[in-house]
């Protein structure tokens, strides 16, 4: 006598039928390409996993995390504006996440939510492709949130950096990241975001400019303009949609070297996949999911 479920269906042959759910939380979230990238990787690895995006306002973060505990969400990514606030809602942190004081990847490990920071490698990996000698380097960072923290931890791995100038509106956040920089033995200098004259002066002296804010996501104009970007400067905008933000366009006009936001998206996404699955990330598959038949933008 045959019974229901005694034989797997053809559709499931060769597939791990253990289902797991993953997601990304943030606000805004409509722009996120993480579901496209991670779902492609899960399919390629024959994993019965799914990944979706949830819009979570700041005042609903705690409730969202509690809900994910209850439904036993296998893991999730964290984006703006929750990367720092999420820390106090987790059970454990990796060493690097603890050092940065920010988390962008969470893994459910036997019922405990463990926070990781894959943004650190996400920021550093594309920079290392353009800069080999960090000795005497002057860096300008816009923003003082979780991505700035990740950038500082990553840059602290490099020897010889001269200064890191950080511009931010919220002065309390700014001074907290300056303290992080001090703890990492980095020479970080705080500036008010609104001081456009000083921003222009610092921009002209900077060898590396990193935008870690959401400026550009909605088409906003960058405070760093073409006239104050040197040709030999590396300009990195973590905003990946649109690909060509105003800052990226300004950098192109200046003839500077460009790091697109999608490069960080991919690098941190590879690491997240590996944390969740214990498998090597299918990098080309994830990249193809983003760019399709047209290939990587230049």
Domain of residue 198, CATH code: 3.40.50.720
pTM over 0.85: yes
For residue 165, what are the β-bridge partners?
140, 189
Residues 182 and 273 in one domain: no
Within-domain flag for 153 = yes
Q: List all residues 6 or more positions away from 42 whose beta carbon is below 8 Å from its beta carbon.
A: 48, 49, 50, 51
- Classify residue 182: in a domain, yes or no: yes
| Domain containing residue 73: CATH number | 3.40.50.10860
Domain count of the chain? 2
Same-domain status, 253 and 272:
no
Inter-residue contact 37 to 290 (CB < 8 Å): yes
Q: Report how far residue 31's alpha carbon sits from residue 240's, in angstroms, rounded to the nearest whole number.
A: 9
pLDDT at 225 over 50: yes
Task: Give CA torsion, residues 85, 87, 88, 93, to 10 deg.
Answer: 180
Check if 83 is active-site: yes
Tens digits of per-residue pLDDT, 285-294? 999 999 985 6
Task: Write out pLDDT tens, residues 128-141.
Answer: 999 999 999 999 99
| Residues 108, 149 within the same domain | no
* Residue 244: inside a domain: yes
User: Based on the domain organization, do 147 and 251 belong to the same domain?
Assistant: yes
- The predicted-structure confidence for 263-291, as pLDDT tens digits, reads as follows 999 999 999 999 999 999 999 999 999 99
**Distance separating alpha carbons of residues 21 and 50, to the nearest angstrom:** 5
Residues 185 and 271 in one domain: no
* 207 & 136 share domain: yes
Tens digit of each residue's pLDDT (9 = 90 or more) over 8-32: 333 344 445 689 999 999 999 999 9
The verdict on 129 and 221 lying in the same domain is yes
Mean pLDDT of 57-75: 97
Please give the pLDDT value at position 27.
96
Peptide bond into 65 cis (omega under 30): no
Mean pLDDT of the chain: 93
Same domain, 93 and 131: no
Q: Which two tokens stand for residue 281?
A: 């990330």
Report helix angle 34-44 to 261-277, nearest 10. 40
Distance CA 71, CA 62 (A): 15
Which position among 83, 241, 253, 298 bears the catalytic label? 83
Per-residue model confidence (pLDDT) at position 3: 34
Q: Does residue 104 lie in a domain region?
A: yes
Q: Which domain holds residue 76?
A: 10-116+264-294
DSSP code, position 183: H
In a domain, 108, yes or no: yes
Asked if 126 and 252 sit in the same domain, the reply is yes
């Amino acid at each position: 006598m045959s019974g229901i479920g005694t034989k797997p269906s053809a559709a499931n042959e060769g597939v791990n039928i253990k289902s797991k759910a993953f997601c990304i939380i943030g606000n805004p979230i409509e722009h996120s390409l993480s579901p496209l990238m991670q779902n492609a990787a899960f399919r390629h690895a024959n994993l019965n996993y799914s990944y979706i995006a949830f819009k979570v306002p700041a005042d609903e973060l705690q409730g969202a995390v509690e809900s994910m505990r209850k439904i036993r969400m296998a893991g999730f990514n964290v984006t703006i504006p929750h990367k720092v606030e999420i820390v106090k809602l987790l059970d454990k942190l990796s060493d690097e996440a603890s050092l940065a004081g920010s988390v962008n990847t969470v893994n459910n490990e036997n019922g405990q939510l463990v926070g990781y920071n894959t943004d650190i490698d996400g920021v550093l990996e594309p920079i290392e492709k353009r800069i080999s000698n960090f000795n005497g380097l002057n860096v300008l960072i816009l923003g003082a949130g979780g991505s700035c923290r990740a950038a500082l931890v990553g840059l602290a791995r490099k020897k010889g950096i001269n200064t890191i100038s950080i511009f931010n509106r919220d002065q309390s956040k700014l001074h907290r990241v300056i303290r992080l920089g001090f703890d990492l033995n980095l020479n970080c200098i705080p500036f008010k975001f609104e001081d456009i004259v000083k921003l222009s002066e610092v921009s002209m002296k900077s060898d590396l400019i990193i935008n870690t804010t959401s400026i550009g996501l909605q088409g906003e104009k960058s405070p760093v303009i073409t006239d104050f970007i040197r040709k030999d400067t590396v300009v990195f905008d973590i905003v990946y949609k649109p690909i060509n933000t105003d800052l990226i366009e300004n950098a192109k006009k200046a003839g500077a070297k460009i790091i697109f936001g999608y490069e960080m998206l991919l690098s941190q996404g590879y690491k997240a996949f590996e944390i969740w699955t214990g498998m090597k990330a299918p990098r080309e598959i994830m990249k193809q999911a983003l760019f399709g038949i047209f290939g990587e933008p230049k």
